[in-house]
């Protein structure tokens, strides 16, 4: 008699240490999941999902999409109600500072999310556990997971609890991450020029972990160069360096 082949997916078994860290993580965010599958999915990077496909683990990209929407609405609504005299432009700048990658990476570090993030081997060895983009994406995914496990109110509560001190920093002008926009504004104000160009100078590394070298030119003069894991990250780093250079030259 031919032996029946087992086609069922093997169940994923997390380590005891990881489960203990998950308990600590839930304490950090102030929310305990009723259905842990949402939390597991939120913490599963696409590389881990791919390398452990036999377990049928979903990566966190869909929850990240949902969390981004919940985050934006929560922060926008909170700012609108908290600062009734602020014009649209100021509210938009505050919101941008609070939902951007660097701020979400700070949130992730406060939550110690890096300790529970599930990464593939290649992503792990390339420093993915400390990569701001991965941490920010996972933060949004966790917020999406809370929304799915409970409701909007629960997710908004988690968001505002962790962002409250950062909101005060943003209002005080201490959360300036959009160096690219700041540089463009300074150049237009000081030189009455819009001839600032961001140019891709080089692209290296494997497809799963590329590096981009961006240069910033004012007309034909190279102001700064920087390397990042994305074009956007490299542009921001280079823009920050350009602003510092202009400050040293007393051009601003």
**Cα separation of 60 and 41, whole Å?**
5
Residues 41 and 164 reside in one and the same domain: yes
* Contacts (Cβ under 8 Å, ≥6 apart) of 212: 200, 202, 203, 227, 228, 229, 230, 231, 233, 234
Please report, in tens digits, the pLDDT of each residue of the chain (252 residues total): 444 444 445 677 878 888 889 999 999 999 999 999 999 999 999 998 888 877 788 999 999 999 999 999 999 999 999 999 999 988 998 998 899 888 999 999 999 999 999 988 888 888 888 888 889 999 999 999 999 999 999 999 999 999 999 999 888 877 766 788 878 877 877 776 668 899 999 999 888 788 999 999 988 899 999 998 889 889 989 998 998 887 655 433
Q: Where among 138, 172, 206 does a domain terminate?
A: 172
3 within a domain of the structure (yes/no) = no
Residues 163 and 55 reside in one and the same domain: yes
Give the chain's domain count.
2
48 within a domain of the structure (yes/no) = yes
Residues 134 and 189 reside in one and the same domain: no
68 flagged as catalytic:
yes
Residues 156 and 224 reside in one and the same domain: no
Which pLDDT score is estimated for 177? 65
Residues 115 and 232 reside in one and the same domain: no
Residues 45 and 113 reside in one and the same domain: yes
**Structural domain boundaries, residue 185:** 179-249
Joined tokens for residue 89: 């432009």
- Binding-site positions for Mg(2+) read 64, 137, 140
Which pLDDT score is estimated for 74? 98
80 within a domain of the structure (yes/no) = yes
Q: Give one DSSP letter per residue of 175-216, joined into a string.
A: ----HHHHHHHHHHHHH----EEEEEEEEES-TTS-EEEEEE
Report the candidate in 115, 93, 95, 91 with the shortest Cα–Cα distance to residue 104: 95
Q: Which of 41, 68, 101, 123 is catalytic?
A: 68
Q: Where among 172, 190, 209 does a domain terminate?
A: 172
Which pLDDT score is estimated for 183? 86
Q: Which of 41, 123, 140, 235 is catalytic?
A: 140
Q: What is the CATH number of the domain that holds 231?
A: 3.30.160.20
Establish how many alpha carbons lie within 13 A of residue 41's alpha carbon, considering only the half-sphere containing its beta carbon.
22
Residues 36 and 149 reside in one and the same domain: yes
Residues 155 and 235 reside in one and the same domain: no
5 within a domain of the structure (yes/no) = no
11 within a domain of the structure (yes/no) = no
Longest dimension (CA), the chain: 86
Residues 97 and 113 reside in one and the same domain: yes
Q: What is the CATH number of the domain that holds 22?
A: 1.10.1520.10
The CA distances from residue 232 to 60, 154, 211, in Å, are: 21, 32, 11
8 A C-beta contact, residue 141 and residue 60: yes
Which pLDDT score is estimated for 239? 92
Which pLDDT score is estimated for 100? 86
**At 226, is the secondary structure helix, strand, or coil?**
strand
203 flagged as catalytic:
no
117 within a domain of the structure (yes/no) = yes
Q: Where among 153, 172, 191 does a domain terminate?
A: 172
Residues 155 and 212 reside in one and the same domain: no
Residues 128 and 165 reside in one and the same domain: yes
6 within a domain of the structure (yes/no) = no
7 within a domain of the structure (yes/no) = no
Residues 117 and 28 reside in one and the same domain: yes
Strand partners, 213: 202, 227
């Amino acid at each position: 008699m031919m032996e029946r082949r087992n086609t069922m997916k093997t169940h994923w078994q997390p380590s005891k240490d990881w489960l203990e860290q998950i308990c600590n993580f839930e304490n950090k965010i102030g929310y305990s999941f009723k259905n842990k599958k949402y939390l597991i999915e939120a913490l599963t990077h696409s590389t881990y999902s791919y390398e452990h496909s036999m377990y049928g683990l979903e990566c966190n990209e869909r929850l990240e999409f949902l969390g981004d929407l919940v985050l934006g609405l929560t922060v926008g609504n909170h700012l609108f109600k908290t600062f009734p005299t602020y014009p649209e432009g100021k509210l938009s700048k505050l919101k941008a500072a609070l939902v951007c990658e660097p701020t979400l990476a700070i949130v992730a570090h406060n939550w110690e999310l890096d300790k529970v993030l599930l990464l593939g081997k290649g992503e792990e060895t390339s420093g993915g556990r400390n990569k701001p983009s991965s941490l920010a994406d996972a933060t949004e995914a966790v917020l999406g997971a809370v929304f799915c496990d409970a409701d909007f109110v629960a997710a908004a509560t988690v968001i505002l609890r962790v962002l409250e001190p950062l909101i005060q920093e943003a209002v005080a002008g201490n959360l300036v991450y959009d160096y690219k926009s700041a540089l463009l504004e300074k150049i237009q104000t000081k030189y009455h020029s819009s001839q600032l160009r961001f140019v891709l100078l080089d692209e290296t590394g494997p497809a799963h972990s590329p590096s981009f070298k961006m240069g910033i030119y004012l007309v034909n003069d190279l102001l700064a160069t920087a390397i990042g894991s994305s074009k956007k990250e490299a542009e921001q780093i280079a823009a920050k360096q350009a602003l510092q250079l202009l400050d040293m030259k007393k051009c601003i």
